[in-house]
Amino acid sequence: MQQGGGSDTEVTWEDQQNINKFGRLNNRFHELEDEIKIAKEMNENLEDASNELILTDDEVVRFQIGEVFAHMPREEVESRIEQMKEVTSKNLEKLEEEKDSVLAQMAELKRILYGKFKDSINLEED
C-alpha cells in the first residue's frame, strides 16, 4: 500500500485503524486461499481413495493412521472414508464462507478509504 506524492489529506487514527484492518483482512484472505486449496486436495484424495476401494477385491485393506498403516475390514475403511469426506466438505464450506465474508469487508473498507484518499492510496494486490 502506498500513497502518491504531495497529498494534502490528513490521516486520522480512525483511517490508520481502517488501513490496519484492511491489512489484516488481506493476510487472512491469503491464508484462507491456501487452506481452501489444501482442503480441495484432501477431498480429491479421498475421492480417489474411495474409487480405488470400489475397484479392489481385497477384504482387508491397509488404512493409514498417522505414520502407520492398519489392517482393516473393507466396510470399515469405506465408512471411515465417507466420514472423512463429510468432515472435509463441511470444513471447505466453512472456509469458503469465511473467504466471502473477508472479501466483503475488504470491499467495504476499499470504498471508505478510496472515498477519502482517492489516488493517494493503493489497496490492490501488486
Partner 1 sequence: MASSSTSAVSERRGIPAAAFVEDVQTYLTQSGLDVNSSLAFLQERLQQYKLVEMKLLAQQRDLQALIADFEVSEGIYSRARIEDTDSVCLWLGANVMLEYSCDEATNLLQKNLENAKASLEVLVDDLHFLRDQVTVTQVTIARVYNWDVHQRRSKQAAAAAAKDS
Residues in contact with partner 1 by the rule CB under 8 A:
1-8, 10-11, 13-14, 16-17, 19-20, 23-24, 27, 65-68, 70, 120
CB of 12 to partner 1, least distance (A): 8
Residue 30 is placed in which grid cell? 491469503
Compare residues 49 and 117 and give the one whose CB is closer to partner 1. 117
> Across the strands, what pairs with 72?
61
Buried residues in 42-65 as b, exposed as e (16+ CB within 10 A): bbeebeebeeeeeeeeeeebebee
Minimal distance, residue 111 CB to partner 1, in Å: 13
Residue 70 beta carbon to partner 1: minimum distance, rounded to whole angstroms? 7
Which residue bears the cell 489529506? 9
Beta carbon nearer to partner 1, 6 or 57: 6
Q: In terms of CB distance, is 55 or 68 closer to partner 1?
A: 68
- Which burial class, exposed, middle or buried, applies to 14 when counting CB atoms under 10 A from its CB (0-12, 13-18, 19+)? exposed
In the complex with partner 1, the residue whose CB is nearer, 20 or 51, is: 20
Residue type, 36: I
Q: Shortest Cβ distance from residue 77 to partner 1 (Å)?
A: 14
